[in-house]
């Protein structure tokens, strides 16, 4: 079985400050990891993914994420947050050893960036 935990329901950060959204995962094999962002009344937008290779993955809108196998984590980061980054962020995992392309999502973290 595969699972994802996003331990923070909400993260508050001042504009211009660094932003981190935490994610830990559990899979029986090697993971594929994804981050999505959801704005109000919108679908999920793909930000970035880790498949293999460099542990630091760069994605859209200045976001990046670091894969840490020993800590089974894939935290999302942005060096300088914008008010427009306020949204709901979802981490998702897929087990490389499992058949099909089934993603398991975390419960989401709401990010509020204050001016």
Partner 1 sequence: EAGVVQSPRYKIIEKKQPVAFWCNPISGHNTLYWYLQNLGQGPELLIRYENEEAVDDSQLPKDRFSAERLKGVDSTLKIQPAELGDSAVYLCASSSTSGVRTDTQYFGPGTRLTVL
Among 21, 81, 94, 111, binds partner 1 (CB under 8 A): 94
Structure tokens of 72?
């089974």
Stretch near partner 1 under the rule CB under 8 A, chosen from 11-19, 35-43, 61-69, 71-79:
35-43
Rounded to the nearest 10°, the torsion over CA 82, 88, 89, 95 is -170
Among 45, 55, 68, 80, binds partner 1 (CB under 8 A): 45
Structure tokens of 41?
């009344």
CA distance 108 to 8: 8
Site for partner 1 in 73-92 (CB under 8 A): 90, 92
CB-based contact 98:7 (threshold 8 Å): no
Query: Which spans of this chain sit near partner 1 (rule: CB under 8 A)?
Result: 4, 32, 34, 36, 41-46, 49, 51, 90, 92, 94, 96, 100-103, 105-108
């Amino acid at each position: 079985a595969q699972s994802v935990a996003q331990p923070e329901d909400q993260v508050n950060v001042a504009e211009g400050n660094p932003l981190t959204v935490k994610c830990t995962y559990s899979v029986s094999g090697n993971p594929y990891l994804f981050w999505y962002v959801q704005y109000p009344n919108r679908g999920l937008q793909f930000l970035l993914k880790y498949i293999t290779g460099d542990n630091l993955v760069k994605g859209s809108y200045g976001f990046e994420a670091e894969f840490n196998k020993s800590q089974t984590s894939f935290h999302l980061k942005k060096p300088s947050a914008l008010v427009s980054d306020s949204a709901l962020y979802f981490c998702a995992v897929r087990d490389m050893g499992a058949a099909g392309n089934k993603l398991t999502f975390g419960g989401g973290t709401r990010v509020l960036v204050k001016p």
